[in-house]
């Protein structure tokens, strides 16, 4: 993960990253290791600890490759894109866009990921509209203990924009969040694809 440090200094050593006075540790665990024919698949779970306290920003990524090392590398890259920039921003490193403020909380967006169709066009405008769907759920975190929180979306979009999937708040499945996400105007026609995005929420 590469960022442009703001006030806090940033230094890394192995799996540890020092950001100002905080020590961040990234712990990766392979949960699925499989291959068929010439393709290898790796399912990776990454936990984040800040000053040795587990944070509710765990995230799973999947990597495909022509060999196991390539599959692992792809899974790591997917995690970095989905979580890395948002996490660094929430920890005080100036990267990417400024966060959105909802109530008293700051929301840092990971990179939206789309698999299954190269015809889906995702834009910052759509990202803003999708975040609007999350406002009530972000506000619900205002009284939750801890500095960092997360909201993750994994949506399977079918023809005519019908959506199913799994949505989580601080790692716990939320059916009400999924229901809200289903009311979003997803790309229609005959497209089938998977949409994933993670938001890191921080108390200022």
Q: Give the span between the Cα atoms of 170 and 131, in whole angstroms.
A: 16
pLDDT in tens, 126-144: 999 999 999 999 999 998 9
The answer to whether the CB of 14 falls within 8 A of the CB of 27 is no
- Evaluate if residue 1 carries a pLDDT over 50: no
Number of Cβ atoms within 10 Å of the Cβ of 140: 15
Distance CA 90, CA 108 (A): 7
The 10s digit of each residue's pLDDT in 164-176 is 999 999 999 999 9
Is residue 189 scored above 80 in pLDDT? Answer: no
Q: Where do runs of H (alpha helix) occur along 32-93?
A: 68-79, 85-90
144: CB partners within 8 A, 6+ apart: 170
In this structure, the dihedral spanned by the alpha carbons of residues 83, 136, 22 and 196, taken in order and rounded to 10 degrees, is: -10
């Amino acid at each position: 993960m590469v960022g442009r440090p703001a006030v806090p200094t940033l230094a890394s050593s192995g799996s540890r990253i020092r950001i100002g006075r905080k020590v961040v540790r990234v712990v990766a665990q392979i949960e699925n290791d499989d291959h068929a024919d010439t393709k290898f698949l790796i399912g990776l779970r990454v936990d984040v600890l800040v000053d040795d306290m587990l944070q509710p920003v765990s995230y799973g990524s999947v990597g495909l490759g022509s060999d196991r090392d390539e599959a692992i590398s792809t899974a790591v890259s997917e995690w970095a894109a989905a979580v890395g920039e948002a996490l660094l921003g929430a920890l005080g490193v100036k990267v990417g866009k400024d966060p959105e403020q909802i109530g008293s909380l700051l929301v840092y967006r990971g990179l939206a990921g789309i698999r299954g169709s190269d015809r889906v066009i995702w834009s910052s405008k759509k990202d803003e509209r999708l975040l609007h769907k999350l406002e009530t759920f972000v506000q619900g975190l205002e009284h939750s203990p801890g500095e960092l929180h997360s909201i993750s979306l994994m949506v399977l979009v079918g023809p005519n924009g019908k959506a199913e999937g799994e949505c989580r708040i601080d790692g716990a499945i939320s059916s009400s969040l999924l229901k809200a996400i289903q009311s979003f105007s997803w790309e229609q026609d005959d497209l089938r694809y998977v949409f994933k995005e993670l938001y890191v929420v921080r108390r200022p």
